[in-house]
A = this chain, B = another copy of it.
Amino acid sequence: MVGSVGNDGLMELGAAAGNGVGKGARPMEEQPPARREVVLGRNVHTASFAVKEPEADDDETGEREAAMASVLALYRRSLVERTKHHLGYPYNLDFDYGALSRLQHFSINNLGDPFIESNYGVHSRQFEVGVLDWFARLWELEKNEYWGYITNCGTEGNLHGILVGREVFPDGILYASLESHYSVFKAARMYRMECVKVDTLISGEIDCADFQRNLLLNRDKPAIINVNIGTTVKGAVDDLDMVIKTLEESGFKDRFYIHCDGALFGLMIPFVKKAPKVTFKKPIGSVSVSGHKFVGCPMPCGVQITRLEHINALSSNVEYLASRDATIMGSRNGHAPIFLWYTLNRKGYRGFQKEVQKCLRNAHYLKDRLREAGIGAMLNELSSTVVFERPKDEEFVRRWQLACEGSIAHVVVMPNVTIDKLDYFLNELAEKRAAWYDQDGMCQPPCIAGDVGQENCACILHKNNLGCFCKDWNV
């Protein structure tokens, strides 16, 4: 018996997995109208699986092994359920790495620089460099002009890109739109950089007029800019060409460094016909993208590509590794590169293109169906992130694992999100919603015009505008 890893623990796991709002969460009605407090998830401490000291006779009775196996089997069942009801995060949950399962027995570690072998032989640099080459080609940087590595997540990519920017321009100011990922502002704080938050348009894109105003207030210092290739909440793609033009027109020629945060969309945008190109032929310094998002991977990972010239200044040799230190982390997961290598080889550019098109098509379907049902919704032209009115019930939000901010929620349509799944979700939402909002008009859906524009809002004030859009359905 593994103590609290018994029935109680498992019941709590069920609860943790989405049945109800727990400690720390606060129903929306209680929130002050002026400044809404963030609704935090439940505190996990009470539901954890304690580690218990084995009894002396455990090896003989086999009881502990059996109890652990039972915890793991129930946990696996909850993962199946949670994977099925997932819509809110940009993770492709559809992958099959069965062919790689035998590698799990090895402690694979790419510590140090991907291009310089360390003395530790159990590594996967051959795969890592193959993957990096693929991405460098995608973003048009020559083999002998790029440097990069496979990171632990999108945040590490941003931390690295912004650090490179700061090392290139030590007194540079970091500019990032208000809708940038939180890791960008974390970087500014960690690195003790001056940081200017730039306004966004209603779409979520950076407002280049406000950007210019801020640049002109700080002419004396170089600019380090985080450009979002798909914002976290609205999937908005900052206009890279306009950002560069704004910099040049404001007198910053050769005094700027651009990091492109392409967490999800960095890998989708090359396959979207009308999209502006992310390429090192433009004066950008680095691009990062997540590996567990569009590609899909059991654990978070990411790809960071930058110009080699910047890295030579940044890095230092680490003798006992016989390698170089230019990464944020030290030891690095050697399994992630093999997962990525495997998927890239199987799908190729053509495979990704097909998947991107399917995602965009399904995202349009979702937005149209939401509007048809009288629910305010927005979909940026280049994105598969559908923003809509936040469901009233936190239980529903948790069940579908929707990411929420203020009065809006979003669904990110990933390759594993099928029309069937969307229909299942839409039907459940319509049914629940009928109960949330009564017919006599006493309880109304929230106005989301401030978040997505009047033309995308279906509240009582704006729903006539939305009416026109409903006609688009079936186009």
Contact = CB atoms under 8 A, between A and B. Distances in A.
Interface of A: 2, 5, 9, 12-13, 16-18, 22, 24-25, 38-45, 47-54, 64, 68-69, 72, 75-76, 79, 82-83, 85-86, 88-89, 91-93, 95-109, 111-112, 114-122, 124-131, 133-134, 143, 152-156, 159, 163, 181-183, 186, 190-192, 232-233, 290, 292, 296-300, 316-325, 328-336, 341-342, 344-351, 397-398, 401-406
Given A41-B322, A155-B329, A318-B182, A121 B53 contact: no
Given A83-B122, A119-B402, A330 B64 contact: no
A112 to B, nearest CB: 8
B324 A107 contact: no
B106 A322 contact: no
Contact of A117 (B16, B86, B131, B402): B16
Contacts of A49: 126-127, 130, 341
In the A-B complex, list the 8 residue pairs whose CB atoms are closest, starting with the nearest.
A41-B117, A155-B330, A300-B331, A48-B129, A82-B121, A153-B331, A299-B333, A51-B134
Highest count of chain B CB atoms <10 Å: which of A39, A102, A125, A402: A125
Contacts of A333: 152, 299-300, 333
Nearest to A73: B102
Contacts of A75: 103, 124, 126-127
Given A50-B130, A232-B320, A397 B119 contact: yes
Contact of A121 (B17, B323, B347): B17
A42 B323 CA distance: 9
Given A119-B397, A341-B51, A345-B2, A76 B102 contact: yes
